[in-house]
Structure 1
Amino acid sequence: MEKSQLSLQNWSPENYIKAYKFAANAHQGQKIPGSEIPYIMHLSFVSMEVIAALSKEKEHNGDLAIQCAILHDTIEDTDITFEEIKAEFSQVVADGILALTKDESLAKHLQMADSLRRIKEQPQEIWMVKLADRISNLQAPPYYWTIDKIIRYREEGIQIYEALKDASHFLASRLASKIADYQAFI
């Protein structure tokens, strides 16, 4: 890539690779629920959504958004701690990942509102990650989900859209489209 093209990017490929390797090691052996697909694919899809938004919305801190997209499930789904993320990346990345992590001590029906409240206290790049995460997750639901679970998941998508849509017009539009399409599974 020419130097002039690289300067137009608002993120570093080196930081992407560092976060991707870290996440691949952390999530090693995990599968996407209901499949045999390695979990790292989900992280790839979420980061791809963020990169697509960053290509259109250059005002965002791309390194923060991409690193958090790749690492967003490390505290929640692996043995990686907040302190390890902070030491390896930064305080702001660790704070973003922690905000994106569900508080398992709360009743399930309270977790999303709590998560969205904490995400809204973070820079908008963290909001973008949550939008991208739900875009990625609004694929065909796993075969074992009940209609009630599918309806609740779609309603959570609407809740995420309403709370975080101001962070990225591109991602908000993508999520709105995915929510509309998800109606077909109900």
Structure 2
Amino acid sequence: MLMLTDSSDLVQTALYFAARAHNGQQRPGSDLPYFVHLSDVTLEVAATLAVEPGHDHTLALCCALLHDVLEDTTIEEATLAARFGPAVAAGVRALTKDPTLPAAERMPDSLRRIQQQPREVWLVKLADRISNLSVPPPAHWSPDRVAGYRAEGELILNTLGIASPRLAARLRAKIERYGVQ
């Protein structure tokens, strides 16, 4: 099914696919469409690709756009593989937390799987957490929950930060400011 002639065609296909898959969803804690989060992550990745050479732009941008499709929609991995190829499907699978695991094991498991992927997938996880830390914590979160989310950001940074000096610096700054009034 991968018969697109240009890698930008595949990225554009991913853009529309993600928009349709997440249609009607909202970014948690806001009245914004969920696609704003996907766009934010993709813009972080694109800005990094512009200044850090040597990455597969198509893989990075497709994974950024599609990173929550398996976790937050009814789309199946086989569909992603057929539409976007095995590398994109594997990257998105690694970025997807395993709901069958206890909550405390989900992020470490995902990070282990991300580390087995090309560095472009690492960029997406870093950008995803930057995006999530760019909005205030939900009002109903306790100080302990905010601190736990910040600590999880530290884990992501310490595990994957080597993939991108730019994203590591941005994530560090977001962690330091998260939840601070």
| Both structures adopt the same fold (TM-score exceeding 0.5) | yes
Deviation digits for residues 118-174 of structure 1 (CA, Å, limit 9, x no counterpart): 000000000000000000000211112121111110000000000001111111111
Which residue, out of 107, 131, 135, partners 2:126? 131
* Matched residue, 1:159: 155
Indicate whether 1:121 and 2:116 are aligned.
yes
Secondary structure of 1:38 counterpart: coil
Secondary structure of 2:27 counterpart: coil
Moved over 3 A (4+): none
- In the TM superposition, residue 13 of structure 1 has moved relative to its aligned partner by 3.7
- In the TM superposition, residue 47 of structure 1 has moved relative to its aligned partner by 0.2
Amino acid paired to 2:51: K
Distance 1:177 1:61 in 2: 26
* Matched residue, 2:175: 179
Which residue, out of 89, 93, 96, partners 1:98? 93
Indicate whether 1:170 and 2:145 are aligned.
no
Amino acid paired to 2:107: M
1:25-174 correspondence to structure 2 within 5 Å: 25-138=20-133, 139-174=135-170
Unpaired segments ≥5 residues, structure 1: 1-10
- In the TM superposition, residue 183 of structure 1 has moved relative to its aligned partner by 5.2
The CA RMSD over aligned residues, in Å, is: 1.2
Distance 1:93 1:131 in 2: 17
Distance 1:41 1:183 in 2: 21
- In the TM superposition, residue 12 of structure 1 has moved relative to its aligned partner by 4.5
- In the TM superposition, residue 34 of structure 1 has moved relative to its aligned partner by 1.5
Secondary structure of 1:28 counterpart: coil
Amino acid paired to 1:88: R
Matched-pair identity in %: 49
Distance 2:180 2:21 in 1: 35
Distance 2:176 2:7 in 1: 34
Deviation digits for residues 61-89 of structure 1 (CA, Å, limit 9, x no counterpart): 11100100000000000000000000000
Distance 2:175 2:108 in 1: 18
- In the TM superposition, residue 96 of structure 1 has moved relative to its aligned partner by 0.2
> How many residues are treated as equivalent by the alignment?
175
User: TM-score, normalization: structure 2?
Assistant: 0.93
Distance 1:112 1:40 in 2: 23
Unpaired segments ≥5 residues, structure 2: 1-5
Distance 1:69 1:44 in 2: 8
Secondary structure of 1:184 counterpart: coil
